[in-house]
Structure 1
Amino acid sequence: MITSTCRPAVVRLAAALLATGLALLVAATPAWAHNSLSSASPAREATLSRAPTEITLEFLARLDPAFTTIVLTDGTKRRVPTGDPVVDGTKSTVQVTDTLPNGTYTVAYRVVSADGHPVQGSYPFTVADPADRAAPTVAPTTASASPAAATAGDDGGGRGTVLGVAGSAVVALAVAVGALWWRRRSLRR
């Protein structure tokens, strides 16, 4: 039998467990804030009438110069010579050291977010200079650009992991409250 003094203790315990579950959810929120590409020059899927002399990528959060990589490849997936990435806050720029003939190119990047999570991606652009009579370079469809076989928008699935842990915590909280309620109910009989 539950006395009237035990009931407030059960309510306090349930409230404490609920608060703990909510705190776990709120604490996990910063992991969702992985860095991502906000703008690029040349832009994704752009067709340019003149070859670019530099590539500039801007991200949502500050970049760590030691962990910023930008690679340019041509349509045959050969690396195009560029300078080292120059990082200024949220922007990174590389100079294209060779003149780019007409063709399709891929910009691949890999940066580290403020939370330590690596973010990578890639995107194509095309040079179609009407004054350049060279045959265009066509991109093959089977190879992928480096670094680390970067894939556009690939962030490693961090959000799914956080949601899985938070969901498990909420389920564990519900089971604990249910077991406590069931135990207390059984004692009343």
Structure 2
Amino acid sequence: MDSPKHRRSGLLRAAPRLLTFALALGLTVLLPVSAASAHDVLTGTQPGNGQTVKVLPKAIELSFNNMPLAIGTEVAIEDAAGKNWASGEVKIVDNVVSQPLLPATPGGKYTVNWRVVSSDGHPIEGTFVFSAAAGGAGATSALTPESEPAADSSAAPQSPTSGAFPVSPIIGSFVVLLALVLALIVARYLRGRKQSHGSE
């Protein structure tokens, strides 16, 4: 006989299974999103952001914590008038992206706009500036860590624009789902308890 007492007992026994299912569903959704949000980051540039060099280097270099993908990677080196002095294709060796300059590039202030495809497949982008007292091809120096004081905070990588899922709404949806499951359990328990009292 399916009495209210038996229904309450079955509901209470099913509660842990429902909670386990809700948690498993939440983890299934959240773990891939968390992994996808761990994009590569810029760790240094040459020349450094805000730095003034005596002579222009042969190439502008950007260093990342992982090796970026070649497809979709672009680096523009623009002067004050907006002319791009980048020459040829971007080169990637290990985790360093190198963009050659035209041999006739003059001295002056330059803005580097870069966009690379992170090792996880998502694009990241950013901007930094530097100045050169003289044009020509100079020797390449060591990378300047981004942690050093910089004149322009825009050197930090911008958020990926690939349409990666934001984590906060997913967490909110999971909390709502869990709350609905708990509300369903409580509602069925109270309804069974009310029916039990009514039958006494």
Q: TM-score range by the shorter chain?
A: 0.7 to 0.9
1:22 aligns with 2:36: no
Report 1:26-37 matches (<5 A): 26-37=31-42
Shift of residue 184, structure 1, vs aligned partner: 2.2
Between the aligned partners of 1:71 and 1:55, the Cα distance in structure 2 is 10
Mark the CA change 1:188 to 1:105 in structure 2 (over 3 Å): closer, same or farther: same
Aligned equivalent of 2:150 = none
* Bigger Rg over Cα: 2
Aligned equivalent of 1:126 = 131
Provide, for residues 58-89 of structure 1, a one-character-per-residue CA deviation record: whole Å limited to 9, x for no partner: 12222222221111111111111423111123
What SS does the corresponding residue of 1:67 show, helix, strand or coil?
strand
Among 65, 84, 88, the alignment partner of 1:83 is 88
Between the aligned partners of 2:157 and 2:109, the Cα distance in structure 1 is 16
- State whether residues 32 and 158 of structure 1, in contact with CA within 8 Å, keep that contact through their aligned partners in structure 2: no
Provide, for residues 99-140 of structure 1, a one-character-per-residue CA deviation record: whole Å limited to 9, x for no partner: 4433210111111123321111111111135xxxxxxxxxxx
1:178 aligns with 2:177: no
1:71 aligns with 2:76: yes
Between the aligned partners of 1:26 and 1:114, the Cα distance in structure 2 is 18
Shift of residue 166, structure 1, vs aligned partner: 2.8
- State whether residues 69 and 121 of structure 2, in contact with CA within 8 Å, keep that contact through their aligned partners in structure 1: no
What SS does the corresponding residue of 1:80 show, helix, strand or coil?
coil
Report 1:10-159 matches (<5 A): 10-129=15-134, 153-156=158-161
Identity of aligned residues (%): 29
Between the aligned partners of 1:118 and 1:32, the Cα distance in structure 2 is 11
Aligned partner letter, 2:108: G
Q: Aligned-residue CA RMSD in angstroms?
A: 2.3
Between the aligned partners of 2:162 and 2:173, the Cα distance in structure 1 is 17
Shift of residue 158, structure 1, vs aligned partner: 5.6
Between the aligned partners of 1:113 and 1:179, the Cα distance in structure 2 is 43
Between the aligned partners of 1:184 and 1:28, the Cα distance in structure 2 is 35
Aligned equivalent of 1:141 = none
Q: TM-score, normalised by structure 2?
A: 0.73
Segments of structure 1 that go 5 or more residues without pairing to the other structure are 130-150
What SS does the corresponding residue of 1:18 show, helix, strand or coil?
helix
Between the aligned partners of 2:57 and 2:43, the Cα distance in structure 1 is 19
Q: TM-score, normalised by structure 1?
A: 0.77
**Count of paired positions:** 168
Between the aligned partners of 1:51 and 1:123, the Cα distance in structure 2 is 15
Between the aligned partners of 2:180 and 2:10, the Cα distance in structure 1 is 24
1:163 aligns with 2:168: yes
- State whether residues 100 and 127 of structure 1, in contact with CA within 8 Å, keep that contact through their aligned partners in structure 2: no
Between the aligned partners of 1:113 and 1:167, the Cα distance in structure 2 is 27
Aligned partner letter, 1:39: G
